[in-house]
Amino acid sequence: MFSFHKKKNLLLIATITTSLALFGCGNEDAENSTNDSNQAAEQTEDRVLTDALGNEVTIPANPERVVATYLEDHLVALGITPIVQWSVANGKQEYLQEYLKDVPTIAHDLPLEAVSSQNPDLIIMDGAGMVEGGKYDQYAKIAPTYVIGEEENSDWRTELETVGKIFGKEDKATEVLKEYEDKAAQVEEELQKDHAGESAAAIWLVNNSLFVVSKDLSAGDVIYNDLGMAVPSVVEEISADATGNWSAISLEKLADMDVDHLFFINSDGEGAEVLSDPLWANIPAVKNENVYEFSRDTGWLYTGTIANTQIIEDVEETILNK
Protein backbone atom coordinates (compact mmCIF):
# COMPACT_ATOMS: atom_id res chain seq x y z
CA MET A 1 0.00 0.00 0.00
CA PHE A 2 1.72 3.19 1.05
CA SER A 3 5.24 3.34 2.41
CA PHE A 4 4.15 2.07 5.82
CA HIS A 5 5.90 -1.27 5.50
CA LYS A 6 9.17 0.37 4.69
CA LYS A 7 11.47 1.34 7.50
CA LYS A 8 11.85 4.79 6.14
CA ASN A 9 11.94 8.05 7.66
CA LEU A 10 13.27 11.00 5.83
CA LEU A 11 15.04 14.32 6.11
CA LEU A 12 18.23 15.31 7.80
CA ILE A 13 21.13 17.43 7.24
CA ALA A 14 23.39 18.11 10.09
CA THR A 15 25.71 20.99 9.31
CA ILE A 16 24.70 24.53 10.21
CA THR A 17 26.24 27.19 7.98
CA THR A 18 27.78 30.23 9.60
CA SER A 19 28.20 33.68 8.11
CA LEU A 20 31.82 34.84 8.28
CA ALA A 21 32.58 38.53 8.41
CA LEU A 22 34.71 39.78 5.54
CA PHE A 23 37.25 42.47 6.27
CA GLY A 24 38.52 45.15 3.93
CA CYS A 25 35.97 47.21 2.05
CA GLY A 26 37.92 47.14 -1.16
CA ASN A 27 38.14 43.32 -1.25
CA GLU A 28 34.63 42.59 0.00
CA ASP A 29 32.72 43.37 -3.18
CA ALA A 30 35.26 41.55 -5.33
CA GLU A 31 35.20 38.46 -3.11
CA ASN A 32 31.39 38.40 -2.98
CA SER A 33 31.29 38.76 -6.75
CA THR A 34 33.70 35.83 -7.13
CA ASN A 35 31.63 33.67 -4.77
CA ASP A 36 28.45 34.49 -6.67
CA SER A 37 30.14 33.58 -9.95
CA ASN A 38 31.38 30.28 -8.55
CA GLN A 39 27.91 29.38 -7.24
CA ALA A 40 26.37 30.26 -10.60
CA ALA A 41 28.94 28.06 -12.35
CA GLU A 42 28.14 25.15 -10.02
CA GLN A 43 24.44 25.50 -10.71
CA THR A 44 24.97 25.19 -14.45
CA GLU A 45 27.19 22.11 -14.35
CA ASP A 46 26.12 18.48 -14.45
CA ARG A 47 27.42 16.41 -11.53
CA VAL A 48 28.19 12.70 -11.29
CA LEU A 49 27.03 10.97 -8.09
CA THR A 50 27.24 7.31 -7.13
CA ASP A 51 23.95 5.89 -5.90
CA ALA A 52 23.25 3.06 -3.44
CA LEU A 53 23.59 0.41 -6.16
CA GLY A 54 26.97 1.70 -7.28
CA ASN A 55 25.65 3.38 -10.42
CA GLU A 56 27.44 6.53 -11.50
CA VAL A 57 24.54 8.86 -12.21
CA THR A 58 24.91 12.12 -14.12
CA ILE A 59 22.67 14.60 -12.34
CA PRO A 60 21.66 17.37 -14.75
CA ALA A 61 22.19 20.95 -13.71
CA ASN A 62 18.96 22.35 -12.26
CA PRO A 63 16.66 19.41 -13.12
CA GLU A 64 13.15 20.68 -13.75
CA ARG A 65 11.16 17.52 -14.51
CA VAL A 66 11.65 15.25 -11.52
CA VAL A 67 9.96 11.92 -10.81
CA ALA A 68 10.63 10.89 -7.21
CA THR A 69 7.68 8.99 -5.75
CA TYR A 70 7.55 8.42 -1.98
CA LEU A 71 9.97 11.33 -1.64
CA GLU A 72 7.51 14.17 -2.15
CA ASP A 73 7.75 15.36 1.46
CA HIS A 74 11.49 15.90 1.04
CA LEU A 75 11.07 17.60 -2.32
CA VAL A 76 8.46 20.01 -1.04
CA ALA A 77 10.54 20.80 2.06
CA LEU A 78 13.45 21.69 -0.24
CA GLY A 79 11.31 23.87 -2.49
CA ILE A 80 11.15 21.37 -5.37
CA THR A 81 7.90 20.50 -7.15
CA PRO A 82 7.89 17.09 -8.86
CA ILE A 83 6.07 16.61 -12.16
CA VAL A 84 3.99 13.72 -10.74
CA GLN A 85 3.05 12.42 -7.30
CA TRP A 86 2.38 8.83 -6.27
CA SER A 87 -1.09 7.48 -5.74
CA VAL A 88 -2.82 4.22 -4.90
CA ALA A 89 -6.36 3.01 -5.41
CA ASN A 90 -7.68 4.74 -2.30
CA GLY A 91 -5.91 8.06 -2.62
CA LYS A 92 -2.73 10.06 -2.39
CA GLN A 93 -0.82 12.03 0.25
CA GLU A 94 -3.55 14.47 1.16
CA TYR A 95 -1.42 16.26 3.74
CA LEU A 96 0.80 17.55 0.93
CA GLN A 97 -1.94 18.75 -1.38
CA GLU A 98 -1.52 22.34 -0.25
CA TYR A 99 1.74 22.14 -2.21
CA LEU A 100 0.92 19.51 -4.84
CA LYS A 101 -2.73 20.19 -5.70
CA ASP A 102 -1.88 20.88 -9.35
CA VAL A 103 0.57 17.97 -9.72
CA PRO A 104 -0.89 14.95 -11.56
CA THR A 105 -0.72 11.49 -10.01
CA ILE A 106 1.10 8.40 -11.17
CA ALA A 107 0.67 4.80 -10.05
CA HIS A 108 2.88 4.02 -7.06
CA ASP A 109 4.76 1.26 -8.93
CA LEU A 110 5.84 3.68 -11.67
CA PRO A 111 4.81 1.92 -14.91
CA LEU A 112 7.53 2.49 -17.50
CA GLU A 113 5.21 3.89 -20.16
CA ALA A 114 3.68 6.32 -17.69
CA VAL A 115 7.11 7.52 -16.56
CA SER A 116 8.34 7.87 -20.14
CA SER A 117 5.29 9.91 -21.12
CA GLN A 118 6.24 12.53 -18.52
CA ASN A 119 9.61 13.21 -20.20
CA PRO A 120 11.51 13.47 -16.91
CA ASP A 121 15.06 14.76 -16.76
CA LEU A 122 15.75 12.97 -13.44
CA ILE A 123 14.27 9.91 -11.73
CA ILE A 124 14.90 9.14 -8.05
CA MET A 125 13.94 5.71 -6.70
CA ASP A 126 13.17 5.30 -3.02
CA GLY A 127 14.90 1.95 -2.60
CA ALA A 128 16.40 -0.88 -4.62
CA GLY A 129 13.14 -2.84 -4.55
CA MET A 130 11.67 -0.41 -7.07
CA VAL A 131 14.19 -1.38 -9.75
CA GLU A 132 14.43 -5.14 -9.28
CA GLY A 133 14.30 -7.52 -12.24
CA GLY A 134 16.30 -5.41 -14.65
CA LYS A 135 14.04 -2.37 -14.29
CA TYR A 136 16.92 -0.04 -13.52
CA ASP A 137 18.30 -0.16 -17.05
CA GLN A 138 14.84 0.49 -18.45
CA TYR A 139 14.30 3.55 -16.28
CA ALA A 140 17.84 4.77 -16.95
CA LYS A 141 17.07 4.80 -20.69
CA ILE A 142 14.29 7.30 -19.96
CA ALA A 143 16.34 9.63 -17.74
CA PRO A 144 19.26 9.55 -15.28
CA THR A 145 18.07 7.33 -12.42
CA TYR A 146 19.39 7.54 -8.85
CA VAL A 147 18.51 4.83 -6.31
CA ILE A 148 18.46 5.65 -2.60
CA GLY A 149 19.76 2.90 -0.29
CA GLU A 150 18.25 1.16 2.72
CA GLU A 151 20.46 3.03 5.19
CA GLU A 152 19.12 6.35 4.01
CA ASN A 153 15.65 4.92 3.53
CA SER A 154 15.41 3.84 7.16
CA ASP A 155 16.21 7.30 8.55
CA TRP A 156 14.19 10.25 7.32
CA ARG A 157 16.87 12.71 8.31
CA THR A 158 19.59 10.92 6.38
CA GLU A 159 17.29 10.53 3.41
CA LEU A 160 16.58 14.25 3.34
CA GLU A 161 20.30 14.86 3.40
CA THR A 162 20.70 12.54 0.42
CA VAL A 163 17.92 14.26 -1.53
CA GLY A 164 19.51 17.61 -0.70
CA LYS A 165 22.83 16.36 -2.02
CA ILE A 166 21.26 15.15 -5.27
CA PHE A 167 19.89 18.63 -5.97
CA GLY A 168 22.84 20.57 -4.56
CA LYS A 169 20.61 21.90 -1.80
CA GLU A 170 22.58 20.76 1.23
CA ASP A 171 22.31 24.18 2.90
CA LYS A 172 18.55 24.27 2.40
CA ALA A 173 18.19 20.82 3.92
CA THR A 174 20.26 21.92 6.92
CA GLU A 175 18.06 24.96 7.35
CA VAL A 176 14.85 22.93 7.13
CA LEU A 177 16.10 20.39 9.63
CA LYS A 178 17.29 23.10 12.04
CA GLU A 179 13.78 24.59 12.04
CA TYR A 180 12.30 21.16 12.72
CA GLU A 181 14.70 20.38 15.57
CA ASP A 182 14.06 23.76 17.17
CA LYS A 183 10.31 23.20 17.07
CA ALA A 184 10.64 19.68 18.47
CA ALA A 185 12.91 20.88 21.28
CA GLN A 186 10.48 23.64 22.22
CA VAL A 187 7.49 21.30 22.44
CA GLU A 188 9.51 18.62 24.24
CA GLU A 189 10.55 21.17 26.86
CA GLU A 190 6.93 22.17 27.43
CA LEU A 191 5.82 18.54 27.66
CA GLN A 192 8.53 17.75 30.19
CA LYS A 193 7.53 20.75 32.25
CA ASP A 194 3.80 20.05 32.41
CA HIS A 195 3.44 16.35 31.45
CA ALA A 196 6.69 14.71 32.51
CA GLY A 197 6.56 10.93 32.50
CA GLU A 198 3.22 10.71 30.71
CA SER A 199 2.91 8.02 28.05
CA ALA A 200 1.42 8.09 24.58
CA ALA A 201 0.65 5.78 21.68
CA ALA A 202 -0.49 6.23 18.09
CA ILE A 203 -3.19 3.80 16.92
CA TRP A 204 -4.42 3.44 13.34
CA LEU A 205 -7.85 2.03 12.52
CA VAL A 206 -8.35 0.84 8.95
CA ASN A 207 -10.84 -1.72 7.61
CA ASN A 208 -11.91 -2.42 11.19
CA SER A 209 -8.37 -3.54 12.09
CA LEU A 210 -6.10 -1.82 14.58
CA PHE A 211 -2.39 -1.07 14.21
CA VAL A 212 0.07 0.53 16.62
CA VAL A 213 3.06 2.57 15.53
CA SER A 214 6.55 1.24 16.29
CA LYS A 215 8.44 3.18 18.89
CA ASP A 216 11.34 4.20 16.63
CA LEU A 217 9.60 4.60 13.28
CA SER A 218 7.19 7.05 11.65
CA ALA A 219 5.03 8.87 14.22
CA GLY A 220 6.61 6.77 16.98
CA ASP A 221 9.99 8.31 16.28
CA VAL A 222 8.42 11.74 16.71
CA ILE A 223 6.40 11.25 19.90
CA TYR A 224 8.99 9.12 21.71
CA ASN A 225 12.41 10.20 20.44
CA ASP A 226 11.81 13.80 19.40
CA LEU A 227 9.24 14.75 22.05
CA GLY A 228 10.36 12.44 24.86
CA MET A 229 7.00 10.94 25.77
CA ALA A 230 7.02 7.64 27.67
CA VAL A 231 6.62 4.38 25.74
CA PRO A 232 3.87 2.06 27.05
CA SER A 233 5.08 -1.48 27.78
CA VAL A 234 2.72 -2.90 25.15
CA VAL A 235 4.32 -0.69 22.50
CA GLU A 236 7.79 -1.79 23.67
CA GLU A 237 6.72 -5.41 23.37
CA ILE A 238 5.20 -5.15 19.92
CA SER A 239 8.03 -2.97 18.60
CA ALA A 240 10.59 -5.63 19.50
CA ASP A 241 9.22 -7.88 16.74
CA ALA A 242 7.97 -5.19 14.36
CA THR A 243 8.86 -5.47 10.69
CA GLY A 244 7.41 -2.13 9.62
CA ASN A 245 6.18 1.23 10.81
CA TRP A 246 2.79 -0.10 11.98
CA SER A 247 2.03 -3.48 13.58
CA ALA A 248 -1.31 -5.20 14.10
CA ILE A 249 -2.71 -5.02 17.63
CA SER A 250 -5.87 -6.65 18.96
CA LEU A 251 -8.48 -4.65 20.80
CA GLU A 252 -7.88 -6.92 23.81
CA LYS A 253 -4.18 -6.06 23.78
CA LEU A 254 -4.95 -2.40 23.34
CA ALA A 255 -7.33 -2.51 26.31
CA ASP A 256 -4.39 -3.71 28.43
CA MET A 257 -2.29 -0.72 27.45
CA ASP A 258 -1.76 1.67 30.34
CA VAL A 259 -1.46 4.81 28.27
CA ASP A 260 -2.12 8.44 29.20
CA HIS A 261 -2.60 9.86 25.71
CA LEU A 262 -3.89 8.10 22.61
CA PHE A 263 -3.48 9.52 19.11
CA PHE A 264 -6.15 7.81 17.05
CA ILE A 265 -5.88 7.84 13.25
CA ASN A 266 -9.30 6.81 12.00
CA SER A 267 -9.43 5.70 8.36
CA ASP A 268 -12.88 4.12 8.83
CA GLY A 269 -14.67 7.32 9.79
CA GLU A 270 -17.77 7.62 11.93
CA GLY A 271 -19.57 4.50 13.07
CA ALA A 272 -16.46 2.33 13.40
CA GLU A 273 -17.40 -0.80 15.33
CA VAL A 274 -14.41 -0.64 17.63
CA LEU A 275 -15.57 2.64 19.13
CA SER A 276 -18.70 1.03 20.59
CA ASP A 277 -16.91 -1.98 22.07
CA PRO A 278 -16.74 -2.06 25.90
CA LEU A 279 -13.04 -2.92 25.70
CA TRP A 280 -12.36 0.40 23.97
CA ALA A 281 -14.07 2.25 26.80
CA ASN A 282 -11.74 0.59 29.34
CA ILE A 283 -8.53 2.05 27.89
CA PRO A 284 -7.19 4.58 30.46
CA ALA A 285 -6.76 7.32 27.86
CA VAL A 286 -10.36 6.79 26.71
CA LYS A 287 -11.67 6.90 30.28
CA ASN A 288 -9.80 10.15 30.89
CA GLU A 289 -10.92 11.67 27.57
CA ASN A 290 -7.36 11.88 26.34
CA VAL A 291 -8.03 10.41 22.90
CA TYR A 292 -7.21 12.69 19.99
CA GLU A 293 -8.70 11.68 16.65
CA PHE A 294 -7.22 12.43 13.23
CA SER A 295 -8.19 11.40 9.72
CA ARG A 296 -5.96 9.48 7.32
CA ASP A 297 -5.52 12.72 5.38
CA THR A 298 -3.16 14.12 8.00
CA GLY A 299 0.58 13.56 8.30
CA TRP A 300 0.31 10.85 10.97
CA LEU A 301 0.67 7.97 8.51
CA TYR A 302 3.72 9.43 6.80
CA THR A 303 7.19 10.67 7.64
CA GLY A 304 9.38 13.61 6.68
CA THR A 305 9.89 17.19 7.75
CA ILE A 306 6.41 18.32 6.78
CA ALA A 307 4.55 15.26 8.10
CA ASN A 308 6.51 15.21 11.34
CA THR A 309 6.07 18.93 11.90
CA GLN A 310 2.32 18.43 11.55
CA ILE A 311 2.49 15.65 14.14
CA ILE A 312 4.35 17.90 16.57
CA GLU A 313 1.80 20.67 16.03
CA ASP A 314 -1.01 18.18 16.67
CA VAL A 315 0.63 17.08 19.94
CA GLU A 316 1.05 20.70 20.91
CA GLU A 317 -2.58 21.51 20.14
CA THR A 318 -4.08 18.45 21.86
CA ILE A 319 -1.95 17.98 24.95
CA LEU A 320 -0.37 21.34 25.66
CA ASN A 321 -3.30 23.52 24.63
CA LYS A 322 -6.06 21.24 25.88
At 212 the pLDDT is: 98
**Which own/partner contact pairs does 277-282 have at CB distance under 8 Å and 24+ positions apart?**
277/251, 279/251, 279/252, 279/254, 279/255, 280/251, 280/254, 280/255, 282/255
Instruction: Determine the Cα–Cα distance for residues 264 and 275; give it in Å rounded to an integer.
Output: 11
| pTM for the structure as a whole | 0.85
DSSP per-residue letters across 140-207: HHHS-EEE--HHHHT-HHHHHHHHHHHTT-HHHHHHHHHHHHHHHHHHHHHHHHHSTT-BEEEEEEET
Contact of 40 with 125, CB cutoff 8 Å: no
Q: Which amino acid is at 28?
A: E
Residues of the chain with CATH 3.40.50.1980: 25-174, 195-320
Q: Which of 274, 310, 271 is nearest to 294 (CA)?
A: 310
Q: Which CATH superfamily is domain 25-174 in?
A: Nitrogenase molybdenum iron protein domain (3.40.50.1980)
Q: Which of 88, 315, 89 is nearest to 202 (CA)?
A: 315
At 49 the pLDDT is: 98
What is the Rg, in whole angstroms, of the alpha carbon atoms belonging to the chain?
22
**Which own/partner contact pairs does 4-7 have at CB distance under 8 Å and 24+ positions apart?**
4/218, 4/244, 4/245, 4/246, 4/301, 5/243, 5/244, 5/245, 6/70, 6/126, 6/127, 6/153, 6/244, 6/245, 7/150, 7/153, 7/154, 7/217, 7/244, 7/245
Helix (H) or strand (E) holding 264: strand 261-266
Q: What is the pLDDT along the chain (322 residues), one digit of tens a residue?
A: 333 334 333 332 222 222 222 223 334 444 444 444 343 444 579 999 999 999 999 999 999 999 999 999 999 999 999 999 998 776 789 999 999 999 999 998 999 999 999 999 999 999 999 999 999 999 999 999 999 998 888 899 999 999 999 999 999 999 999 999 999 999 999 999 999 999 999 999 999 999 999 999 999 999 999 999 999 999 999 999 998 999 999 999 999 999 999 999 999 988 788 989 999 998 999 999 999 999 999 999 999 999 999 999 999 999 998 7
Q: Just give the CATH number of 195-320.
A: 3.40.50.1980
At 92 the pLDDT is: 86
Task: Tell me, rounded to whole angstroms, the distance of Cα 115 from its chain centroid.
Answer: 23
197-208 per-position pLDDT tens digit? 999 999 999 999
At 272 the pLDDT is: 85
